[in-house]
Amino acid sequence: MSNTSFSKRAAQTIFDSLMQLSILCISMSPLYITSIYMQIYPDAISYLVFGLVIIFSVILTLISILLYAVYLPFKMHGATLGMRLFKTKFLTFDNHEVSLQVIFTRFALRLIFIFLSFGISLIVDFIIILGSEKHLSFYDYLTNSKIVDI
């Protein structure tokens, strides 16, 4: 199987990012509703409820994003919805299916680097993919995995 092209990889990444952004907006909706309620009824119980809703929304968001970015690719044999749409998937360098540990490690590393670099790591990653002969990203090298056409 051949490594996927930069354009397919970029399109699939944009699609998956938009899906994750949608999940974020939906899972944070209880927070929006509660903040509107607090504007109408600013009493002590509202602040307690608001605090609980914040905790609930953060937990719901984390679970939802983990399900989409880690569990779904594991169950779909190395492909997110964006990868399915663009007919690509994760494989190890020796062309075996990736494990749940590899998928989680890719996700965690990407998240950590994005937050620590304030998003600059995304630009650096695309430059690495463009400059790499096999279109491999920084995370591919760290986890011994690649994205291939199917």
Question: What total of structural domains would you count in the chain?
Answer: 1
* 68 occurs within a structural domain: yes
**Which pLDDT belongs to residue 37?**
83
**Which pLDDT belongs to residue 22?**
93
**Which pLDDT belongs to residue 76?**
93
Cα–Cα distance measured from residue 48 to residue 13, given in angstroms and rounded to the nearest whole number: 38
* 108 occurs within a structural domain: yes
Q: What is the mean pLDDT of each run of 10 residues along the chain (150 residues)?
A: 83 90 90 84 80 89 92 93 93 92 91 84 82 84 90
* 1 occurs within a structural domain: no
**Phi/psi at 146 (5° precision):** -150, 165
* 118 occurs within a structural domain: yes
Q: 138, 145, 141, 64: which is closest to 100 by C-alpha?
A: 145
**Domain membership of residue 31 as a residue range:** 6-149
Cα–Cα distance measured from residue 114 to residue 108, given in angstroms and rounded to the nearest whole number: 10
Q: Where are the alpha helices (DSSP H) in the chain?
A: 6-27, 29-40, 44-66, 72-75, 81-85, 100-116, 120-131, 138-143
**Phi/psi at 145 (5° precision):** -135, 170
**Which pLDDT belongs to residue 129?**
83
Cα–Cα distance measured from residue 19 to residue 96, given in angstroms and rounded to the nearest whole number: 27
